[in-house]
Amino acid sequence: MPIRLILLFVLALAAAASAMSWLGVRRLHSRQHPAPTALPGRPAPTGRQRVALIIHPGKLNADLARSQVHMACAEAGWDPPLVFETTVYEPGFEQATRALREGADVVIAAGGDGTVRAVARALSHQDAALGLLPLGTGNLLARNLGIPVSDLKASVHGALHGDGRRIDMGRIELHNEQTGSRTEHVFLVMGGVGLDAVVVAATSDVLKERLGWLAYSEAGFRSLPGRRQRVSISLDGQPAQSRKVHSVLFANCGRLPGGIELIPNSTLDDGYLDVVVMSPRSIVGWIWLGTKIVFRPRSVIPVINYYQARHITVTVADPTETQLDGDLAGAVTSLDVSIDPGALLVRSPPFPDLQRTRSMVRRTRG
């Protein structure tokens, strides 16, 4: 009998949490969007190339990556690559700008997502292509492009000889009324305000070196359940709505490490940002949300909502931390996010899901 009572009590708690979530959810107004238009890419290069390598010297396989690129250029009969090392004060933008001035056809970013983001900012709307050698913890852009993150030689080959593909880039303005600061950034994978940034801040650098991306999971468990806060969200200039949430994510693509798809059918070149609003009220709600993300049931649940937009404005009452592609970006009281369609030419292997996804009529999620 006691066991039955305990089970009934747990089920009652789950039912109560579910009911509260259903009653408390407020759906944002979001427009219907047309199917994405295919962006012109470029075939794999056939002639000589001027190659630039921008490398984070502190990464574990930095020396191996440098030698692999030198070897690949020599085997192709090309000049040795231009090599630039990043520093704390120059994480990649300045080096990529110099590479462009010296006529680079492809600029390879060898490092983590922060290095990739800095190099990409310089390459936006340029003819030079971005190549990726994933040496970081998350390597989120590489994973979403289908680049083999554990095969350095294959990554080098793809950066030098892969097909060119135009992808979108996110642009964001961060505002903090208390300090008067206003900064502009770009991102390639996803950013967020709220609990996701708290998790990034709580992740141990030592565990990141030992466990890789699993270190974020450890920080996530320590940060749950957390406190929801009230935010104001506006999509594409429509009237703002107030919600109590844990996080608002704005994503250019949706695949996480471990093969997990946070946003099913999200693509890097559809001209829209995917907006994810997470608002669990309890541990039960987080378990529900985790089940939805990992196992991808078709049912819609109220603790996570999906939308699409070209422009998002978020306002919070108190300064709240933000993150961009897994790096902390500072506390804000408001932010404005927009999509820059087809801003970046990247080298990648064939993307098998691209044509399938383009053939689907995109609809607003939620």
Mean pLDDT of the chain: 81
pTM summary value = 0.81
Nearest Cα neighbor of 163 from 270, 52, 41 is 41
SS3 73: helix
The answer, yes or no, to whether residue 340 has pLDDT greater than 70, is yes
Those residues whose C-beta lies under 8 Å from the C-beta of residue 271, and which sit 6 or more positions away, are 36, 37, 168, 310, 339, 341, 342
Q: Is pLDDT of 136 > 80?
A: yes
Question: pLDDT tier at 280 (50, 70, 90 boundaries)?
Answer: low
**Range name among 107-121, 196-210, 228-242 with the lowest pLDDT average:** 196-210
Res. 198 pLDDT band, cuts 50 70 90: low
Q: Which fold has domain 24-36+169-359?
A: Tumour Suppressor Smad4 (2.60.200)
54-113 confidence digits (pLDDT tens): 999 999 999 999 999 999 999 999 999 999 999 999 999 999 999 999 999 999 999 999
| Residue ranges of domains in the chain | 24-36+169-359, 51-161
DSSP structural state of residue 225 = S
CB-based contact 93:122 (threshold 8 Å)? yes
Q: Which CATH code for domain 51-161?
A: 3.40.50.10330
Give me the mean pLDDT over the 109-138 stretch. Answer: 96
The answer to whether domain 24-36+169-359 and domain 51-161 are alike in fold is no
Can you tell me whether residue 199 is helix, strand or coil?
helix
The confidence score (pLDDT) of residue 133 equals 98
Q: Would you say residue 213 has pLDDT above 90?
A: no
For the stretch 7-63, pLDDT in tens is 344 444 444 444 444 334 455 655 556 655 556 677 778 789 999 999 999 999 999
Tokens of residue 251, six digits: 């994503």
Q: Closest Cα to residue 344, out of 140, 98, 42?
A: 42
pLDDT tens column, 287-307:
555 665 565 655 566 678 889
Phi and psi for 64 in degrees, rounded to 5?
-65, -40
